Amino acid sequence: MKPNSPFAVPTLRSKRLQRRALMLAGALGLGLSASGAVWAQASSRNVPAAEWARIQEAARKEGKVIVYATMGPAQHERILKAFEAANLGVKMELVRIVGSALTNKVEQERAQPNVVGADFVITADIRWSIDGVKKGYFKTPVGPNAAAWPESWMRGGQVGLVAQTPWVMHYNTNLMKTPINTYADLARPEFAGKLGGVSLVAEVVTLFYKWVDETNPGLLEKIAAHKPRMYPSTVGSANATAAGEISAGIFSVIPVDNAVHAQNAPMKTVIPNPSYGFAYGTAILSWAKNPNAAMVVHDFLLSVRGQQAIVGNGEAGSALPGVPGALDTARYNLSLIDWEKVTPEGVKAFEARWNSLFGAR
């Protein structure tokens, strides 16, 4: 994946449409949003310095922002610390919600506008995010870093894609003397009753198993014959591997594994080559109670400092070049989910296949 993809060039027609939209906004006097934001809903992420200063001041008056996120706990901790160190006058409240439970909660809050909930989301469900752009769920981010963010790593002009994350395997070094390097290695007989995985808690998990199935014909049947233990999260699988409850796990991410490595656990992480993975979507909810603070958070996350907090020590790649600690995704031939090819029917069909092999979880 090339991190420094070029910006999309606006067409003459798009420029005319933008001018018409601006003229209409001016005629209607759209200076304030209904939620009290000092910025109008923009079609461009670039705003004058004076307007950005007003947004920052309004964010300080709001004083806080509520973020729902589904990254690893260590990533969340780094984001909180980096944002606090930036001293932007906003307190971030970050709530970790795993898998589809995050988008389900956001949908519930959307239907209950008086409920105090998320202002900003970091989700792995990009199909939901793309659909959300069409439904008007999000605000267009503005600010210096939002404006500089590569267009190829935006979806619908509103969802910023961050943390190019490969899925990894791990194994207990006390229990496994022969290393594993590929997914095919998990078919070895010594993994019978000693292999772990993660249940279909989110669509990205389903798509991972689907990719393994398509690139390694017959492997899922062999893994199913091992009767693997399925965990509700990557944290559960990593901890079980480190404790020796299982010998190896087929599905994890580097940030979760690194937290286990920090405890000097007898576990090794393997990034397969080629590898498969995903990016997280970051977005400001259109019904946010603290819209200016959410705008400031989004701009921070798209900055080099924000990206450094997200990628950690080789845990993920970045769309920005030169981010300290960013994973060199090209080294592992990382390909990401192509969401344009993902359909609800395809996902549902594979879920039925997975359930037939591993049982509904």
Integer CA distances (angstroms), 235 to 98, 122, 255, 268, 356, in order: 11, 18, 10, 15, 25
pLDDT tens across 128-139, in order? Answer: 999 999 999 999
Return the domain boundaries, the chain.
35-164+278-329, 166-276+334-358
The sign of the CA dihedral 32, 59, 70, 147 is positive
- The confidence score (pLDDT) of residue 30 equals 33
pLDDT at 113 (0 to 100): 82
pTM of the model: 0.82
Six-digit token string for 275: 């590898």
pLDDT of residue 6: 27
Q: What distances in angstroms separate CA 66 from CA 112, 146, 175, 253, 285, one per listed residue?
A: 16, 19, 43, 25, 11
C-beta separation of 309 from 300 below 8 A: no
Residue 54 pLDDT? 97
Q: Coil, helix or strand for 141?
A: coil
Residue 205: the pLDDT is 95
pLDDT tens-place string over residues 31-83: 334 344 454 444 578 899 999 999 999 999 999 999 999 998 999 999 999 99
pLDDT at 43: 52
CB 319 within 8 A of CB 1: no
> Would you state the pLDDT for residue 360?
63
Whether 344 and 214 have beta carbons less than 8 Å apart is answered as no
Distance CA 286, CA 136 (A): 7
Q: What's the rounded Cα separation, in Å, for the pair 325 and 310? A: 9
Q: What's the fold here for domain 166-276+334-358?
A: D-Maltodextrin-Binding Protein; domain 2 (3.40.190)
Q: Structure tokens of 211?
A: 């990719």
Residues with Cβ within 8 Å of residue 132, at least 6 apart in sequence: 138, 159, 283
* Backbone conformation region of residue 233, classed left if phi is above 0, alpha if psi is from -120 to 50, else beta: beta
Does domain 35-164+278-329 correspond to CATH entry 3.40.190.10?
Answer: yes
Three-class SS state of 166: strand
Residues of the chain with pLDDT under 50: 1-37, 39-42
Q: What is the mean pLDDT of the chain?
A: 89
